[in-house]
Amino acid sequence: MSDTQNPVNPSTPVGPAKGYRRIATEEAWAPPELFRQYRKLLESRVVDDPGFNTMWSFYLGSPSDRARSIIEKIQDLGEQRIRDMDAAGIDVQLLMLTSPGVQVFDAPTAVSLARDSNDQLAEAVRRHPTRYAGMAAVAPQDPQAAAKELERGVRQLGFKGGVINDHTLGEYLDDPKFWPIFEAAEALDVPIYIHPNTPPKSMIGPFLESGLDGAIYGFAVETGLHALRLIVKGVFDRFPKLQIVLGHTGEALPFWLYRIDYMHRATVLSKRYESVKPLRRKPSEYLRENFYVTNSGVAWEPAIRFCQSVLGVDRVLYAMDYPYQFVADEVRTLDAMDMPDEDKKKFFQLNAERVFRL
Amino acid sequence: MSDTQNPVNPSTPVGPAKGYRRIATEEAWAPPELFRQYRKLLESRVVDDPGFNTMWSFYLGSPSDRARSIIEKIQDLGEQRIRDMDAAGIDVQLLMLTSPGVQVFDAPTAVSLARDSNDQLAEAVRRHPTRYAGMAAVAPQDPQAAAKELERGVRQLGFKGGVINDHTLGEYLDDPKFWPIFEAAEALDVPIYIHPNTPPKSMIGPFLESGLDGAIYGFAVETGLHALRLIVKGVFDRFPKLQIVLGHTGEALPFWLYRIDYMHRATVLSKRYESVKPLRRKPSEYLRENFYVTNSGVAWEPAIRFCQSVLGVDRVLYAMDYPYQFVADEVRTLDAMDMPDEDKKKFFQLNAERVFRL
């Protein structure tokens, strides 16, 4: 029994869509050097991050079909990836450095690796300008350098925004020390994609012991927490034009709009926490106007349409999550969603073109 | 400015519904003795549970309208509660001991407090048999005693099932040592309501520092984790007839059905975790057939209808979450949901009557 799920069968390609391009907006890549550095970290045991250790000892060490296939595909920025895109009917991939990117290294290593990987990605986009687009990797460990690298990525390399793989060794972007990154994003008028990571050490215990720390659940609640922290700490009052992109149908935050508003108001009014201060707007308003969501990993019409209904059809974008979730049947299913043609075109194409200026 | 949100205005009562009774299925109470014991715990600082400490020092110590109103209302099992029910149009409350119930005490204290509180609740139900119904509090600290107390509660006191307030000092019900409780529930053919609690110490760090450990977010992801742990550890293969009730529109697990199935299968096939073994069925099948969800705290048509659409209209029940969320406007809003009359009657009345044998 294979452990690759519903693999794409190249003999029955999905083919072009009728009336829209399919732009996949949360697609992963990694340079061999990153994995060499991950292996060093794993061997030296210097990183006190159980989530990193379990995730990357699995992908880099497991003999399973899933791990080997992903490690092979994720490093390719050439013909293999494009063959897979063709087989699955994907016109364009928006590429970003896989999680946790450079966010587990000391600052100088992280800054250097971000720069090198961005140069490599830019080169691949230059080779395949109609098929690839890129997001800039940055090293939040050095916020000023991260802001500069975002600017370099956008202005010089043609990237469409930045990707931050969730917490940086347990630190979250609501800490004002990281805000030069948001300031740069707002000034450049580009979005920041907050991609999941495993929960940090201070949170992962009950997830890890039950095997639920990864994409099955831990990723989502950890990344949702990160986004909510940005809201309640007032990031969007300080940077009202900042746009954040979340994958995985918004890490379920769209599902929680009502409860978050209710309980945020109750918390503020009762002055329960020093850290929870009044905001200019309701949390749901920031979620509707400062966030975009993609459906990476959630090729499921009910959740996609729910997001469209509560955030608006202009706020929900298509993503495949290649190579972690490479399933041609998912594309066919989404092509067949019961949705007005214009909304489907927004989902697959127009929103991505607008948000990422493709 | 009052910090009570949208308080019920008794001069404009909601009034009886047309065609259905309103049965609220996750309504909280607490006896004065429980709060006396909580105060002792808080003063002696013997409980190593930051979530308990922050939650109950707020409710028992804050001068805010919210805290004082809740502490007053939650202890009443008489006329004040019934007046509030009348004002909000609630016909029946299904009462359960508030979180974390007895689950923070040493085993003998917990067993004794559960028994005493059950006796008091049963007495209140006897006084108001058409307005109140009860769930048995149990002390998982002593699983055999908890099983016996569940049996006593159902057989002798007329309770409709058991309530467990999430983790017990960081321990989850997927540990087989707790399974006598599930065995009793299955044998008695009554549901177990898993009510939220704050995340345990091993998880709460990033929530607490941002004021997100409570009902705004921490409750939900912690309780969702608990429910998922039951599934992946095979509780429902061992107890296939066991029925679990989750509040808060299923703690968002209905939103995750697709991703959980996909990633569970990938995890099992790749043999990534010793703890994640094959199950007889897909996780979504257990979620659809071994769980009911209530809308406590989520008086929001989109989330309620989403749950109905992916779990089935027989699986979604009404709850108000009194006195934590006591808002007559929410009842009016739900009365007006765009939903077939028969589905609304199932939501407000028939499902509760069937699941809890009211």
- What average pLDDT does the segment A309-329 reach? 96
Interchain pair B217, A260: CB under 8 A = yes
Interchain pair A217, B272: CB under 8 A = no
Angstroms from A128 CA to nearest CA on chain B: 31
Q: What share of chain B is helix, strand, coil (3-state, %, to 5)?
A: 50, 10, 40
Q: Compute the distance between CA of residue A345 and CA of residue A313 in angstroms, rounded to an integer.
A: 10
Tell me the Ramachandran region of residue A251: left when phi exceeds 0, alpha when psi lies from -120 to 50, beta otherwise: left
Which one is the CATH code of A23-355: 3.20.20.140, 3.40.1390.20, 3.40.50.1110, 3.30.750.24? 3.20.20.140
Q: Compute the distance between CA of residue B102 and CA of residue B47 in angstroms, rounded to an integer.
A: 13
pLDDT over 90, % of chain A: 93
Residue A248 has pLDDT above 60, yes or no: yes
Smallest Cβ distance to B228: which of A62, A217, A303? A217
Q: Which of A66, A168, A202 to mutate to test the interface with B (most CBs of B within 10 A)?
A: A202
CA dihedral A196, A202, A207, A209 (to 10 degrees): 140
Q: In what order do the strands lie in the sheet with B23-29?
A: B23-29, B92-97, B132-134
At residue B133, the 3 state secondary structure works out as strand
At residue A127, the 3 state secondary structure works out as helix
- pLDDT band at A3; cut points 50, 70, 90: very low
Q: Compute the distance between CA of residue B37 and CA of residue B113 in angstroms, rounded to an integer.
A: 9
Interchain pair B215, A271: CB under 8 A = no
Residue B313 is classified by DSSP as G
Give chain B's count of helices (H) and strands (E): 17, 9
CB atoms within 10 A of CB B62: 17
Q: How many CA atoms, within 13 angstroms, populate the side-chain half-sphere of residue A129?
A: 3
- pLDDT band at A8; cut points 50, 70, 90: low
Q: Compute the distance between CA of residue B289 and CA of residue B41 in angstroms, rounded to an integer.
A: 39
Residue A168 is classified by DSSP as B
Best CA proximity match to A162, nearest among A132, A130, A186: A186
CB B188 within 8 A of CB B151: yes
Angstroms from A250 CA to nearest CA on chain B: 11
CB A135 within 8 A of CB A96: yes
- What average pLDDT does the segment A102-128 reach? 98
DSSP lists the bridge partners of residue B193 as B163, B245
- pLDDT band at A4; cut points 50, 70, 90: very low
- For residue B163, which phi and psi values (nearest 5 degrees)? -120, 135
CB A94 within 8 A of CB A85: no
User: Longest Cα pair distance anywhere in chain A, in angstroms?
Assistant: 62
Q: Is the ipTM of this complex over 0.90?
A: yes
Smallest Cβ distance to B206: which of A64, A202, A276? A202
Residue A282 has pLDDT above 80, yes or no: yes
Interchain pair B206, A167: CB under 8 A = yes
At residue B124, the 3 state secondary structure works out as helix
Q: Compute the distance between CA of residue A276 and CA of residue A125 in angstroms, rounded to an integer.
A: 43
Q: Compute the distance between CA of residue A60 and CA of residue A71 in angstroms, rounded to an integer.
A: 7
Low-confidence ranges of chain B (pLDDT < 70): 1-11
Q: At a CB cut-off of 8 Å and minimum separation 6, what does B298 contact?
A: A258, A259, B248, B249, B304
Q: Please give the residue of chain A at the shortest CA–CA distance from B68.
A: A270
CB A32 within 8 A of CB A100: no
**Looking at residue A1, what is its pLDDT?**
36
CB A194 within 8 A of CB A244: yes
Vertex A217 angle, CA A211 and A222, to 5°: 110
Annotated catalytic residue, options B49, B84, B174, B321: B321
Residue A354 has pLDDT above 50, yes or no: yes
CB A304 within 8 A of CB A10: no
Q: Compute the distance between CA of residue B90 and CA of residue B56 in angstroms, rounded to an integer.
A: 27
Buried/exposed code over A42-51 (b: 16+ C-beta within 10 A; e: otherwise): beeeebebbb
- pLDDT band at A6; cut points 50, 70, 90: very low
Angstroms from B3 CA to nearest CA on chain A: 5
Residue type, B261: D
Query: Residue B281: which H helix or E strand, with range?
Result: none
Condensed to tens digits (0 to 9), the pLDDT of residues A249-269 reads 999 999 999 999 999 999 999
At residue B320, the 3 state secondary structure works out as coil
**Looking at residue B18, what is its pLDDT?**
79
Query: Residue B256: which H helix or E strand, with range?
Result: none
CB A149 within 8 A of CB A115: yes
CA dihedral A160, A247, B271, B174 (to 10 degrees): 150
**Looking at residue B2, what is its pLDDT?**
39
Q: Compute the distance between CA of residue A184 and CA of residue A190 in angstroms, rounded to an integer.
A: 9
Q: Which of A65, A217, A310, A325 to mutate to test the interface with B (most CBs of B within 10 A)?
A: A217
Q: How many CA atoms, within 13 angstroms, populate the side-chain half-sphere of residue B55?
A: 28
